[in-house]
Chains A and B, each alone.
Chain A
Amino acid sequence: MNIKNRLIRRINELWAHKIFRYTLILHSFYFILSIVLFFILYREKNDFIIFYNVGKVFLNDIENLYNQTYYLWDFRYFPLSALFFIALSIFNFEVAFIIFNVFNVFLNILICHLLYKIIMLVRYKDHERHDKRVIIYLCIYLMGLPHVLNYIYGQINLYITFFIILSLYIFLKYNNLKWQFLGSVILGLSIIIKPTAFFLIPFLIILNYNLEKRKLVFDLSRSLVRILGVITPVLFNLIPFILYPSLLEGFLDTNFTGSNPIALNFSFSISKLITNFCYFFNVPFNQLIVLLVVICIIGGLGFIIFLLRRFDNNAIIYGYAFGIIIMLLAYFDSWDHHLLNLTPILIIIIFNQPRRSNITEPIKLSLYFLNFFDLAFVGIWYLIYPLFPYNIEATFFLILAFYGISKHCLLKKSKRDKED
């Protein structure tokens, strides 16, 4: 059967599911709404303006890549990320936005396809053999409200999600070093575009101290290949940094020490909650120290728990979840649309757990909240910020997911067998 026939047959199969039809309608609505809102309200005020401009600045005036007068809002990613947007800058702005968002929809289809493949690969043995439940969860992902903001703002989170999921698929599917290297390079590419996956790097190291057997496992060659693979694309950024030293200064200032990290906003990261508290109550603080302390506590805790995990099979899924949650909890700016990087991983974890596992409960709760309700709390933040400038709800559910994953990592073998 050729690809076209297979595709038609698959679409017909999916079409038979009511939830799939609703999802398609809802997701199309998100897409059309984003285009209409862009033309009516957000043409001069969205994130895409930055991506569109950065390609031009990179080509014409690279030394001023971090000169924020060129942008509506600060450009803060690695210099080579601009390369991804050069192609868009040849179109006029409106056409570029539409092309960009059409590509976002296409990426969502690819993400769902990869998610399906990963779930089928790692699904726990006691799950239903048919794929109805998998389709439901893929629909839940596609119905997620963070997509609305992602489309309206012309954001690049789906690129990151795609690279993250693709690298995860490669790690899970292919075991040889060549593929492991390729998976890491793909993850490195995602870090170039946006450093969301930066804290995934330590979780690529295959290191495990088995508490029950009191045995340390360390796969040096595989770990080295993975770290080398992920760091190589990121290191290419040293070239523009070395050629134009002002770029490094601009990059560090925009990300860590400038006035941006102080500003009051509804980011749900712990660092931002702390700086919002300090801003509100006039507590003197150093934003870099706040960031480092939160990274050390949350990141350190996550890494130690991952190191002491009591299982080996598919451990990388949990490493990915830890890495993304740590980034969302630690870095200053964590917005609703960034959750699109996490929700697919939570869905994979739900399927990797036994069907009636207690551990999935906090993860499911987090998934539903982050996917459907968090956006409402962003709106509520605007209503209450004069008295309570903290968007703590998403923080709570991220910590809940962190707790669920930690619980799974530290679950004793006897209890794990009982769950089976």
Chain B
Amino acid sequence: MKQKSSFFNFLLSFLIISFIASNVNATSYRFGVYENQELVWRCKLCNQGEMDNIFGIDWNEDGILKNLSQGSRMKWKINSVNVNESFIKFNFSIWEWTRKSLWGVKDNDSEIMFFSNPRDYSHELNFTYYSSLVPFIFPIPVGEYIGGLNLNKWYDVDNRVLPTLNAEIGKDEISPGVPSLEIKIIAIYNDQGILNSYKLYTAGNVVIIEISFDFLPFYVIPTLIGLIFVFFLSTTLYFVKKRKAIRPEKNFIVK
């Protein structure tokens, strides 16, 4: 009897938890950046010749890739973040791509805006208004947001592990002659919705542009060192144990 009532209590609690959990509100989106935050990206690789060939010689004269070259950096400083029922947007100052070590005076002010609900975009989206062809920032939770967008056929979202926006754009698909070859982009975002890694590939998976967010979380190096330490410790212990297990046999043979 007691067992029966415990079972029903358990079942009831389980159903209540499930019911409450199933009534959790739909995701609300926001930006993962805050006022006065500075974001810096570094260009690790830029094959100017190949970019000239694919996008024309003026590809870095305007837009988000203006003055991009290998070793250059770009900085954004967030001025304000606004979220309402329809839009989420932020204003920021931009220091365009430069190889100077000192940032100096900002080059421009700009604004980025998204619908608060990714499903509010009524038409198929592409990001051709960014010369990078993908945004440098998305609202968070980023995986859900990009997963909810109605993107055109170039794009493919892979949220399985890291929020990733892949793009495959065929020859002449942006405009006649652009791109002059098929290109592929892999853009990986961090959990703050900031572009963490951007790679633009041409045929044969050859990278011609690589940009990465210039920030390493504090836990990466200690965790890696810890892992290497544990690996060496366990390997040493294993061999010590193995040697101990073999030794008595050897002694026996010697005797």
Contacts and interface: CB of A to CB of B under 8 A. Distances in A.
Interface in A268-305: 278-279, 282, 284-287
B21 A278 contact: no
Given A39-B21, A259-B166, A383 B220 contact: yes
A384 B223 contact: yes
B158 A263 contact: yes
Contact of B24 (A40, A264, A266): A40
A185 B27 CA distance: 45
B224 A387 contact: yes
B156 A380 contact: no
A262 B186 contact: yes
A32 B14 contact: yes
B139 interface: no
Interface string B197-221: 1010000111100100000110111
B18 A387 contact: no
Nearest to B215: A386
B160 A35 contact: no
A279 B21 CA distance: 39
B159 A72 contact: yes
Using C-beta atoms within 8 Å of the partner chain, give the interface range for chain B: 35 or more
Given A380-B223, A383-B220, A383-B223, A264 B21 contact: no
Interface string A33-75: 0011001100111000000000000000000000010001110
B227 interface: yes
A73 B162 CA distance: 12
B146 to A, nearest CB: 11
Nearest to A47: B160
Nearest to A262: B186
Contacts of B166: 259, 262-263
A265 interface: yes
Interface string A63-96: 0000010001110000000000000000000100
B187 to A, nearest CB: 11
Contacts of A263: 158, 160-162, 164, 166, 186
A29 interface: no
A218 interface: no
24 contacts: A35-B18, A45-B143, A68-B156, A72-B147, A73-B158, A73-B159, A259-B156, A259-B168, A259-B184, A262-B166, A263-B161, A263-B164, A263-B166, A264-B161, A265-B160, A279-B186, A282-B207, A284-B206, A285-B205, A286-B204, A286-B205, A287-B205, A380-B227, A386-B216
Given A32-B14, A36-B18, A285-B205, 19 more contacts: A39-B17, A40-B24, A44-B27, A45-B143, A73-B160, A74-B158, A262-B166, A263-B160, A263-B164, A282-B45, A282-B207, A284-B204, A284-B205, A383-B223, A384-B220, A384-B224, A385-B162, A386-B216, A388-B224
CB-CB nearest 4 A-B residue pairs: A39-B21, A265-B161, A259-B166, A282-B207
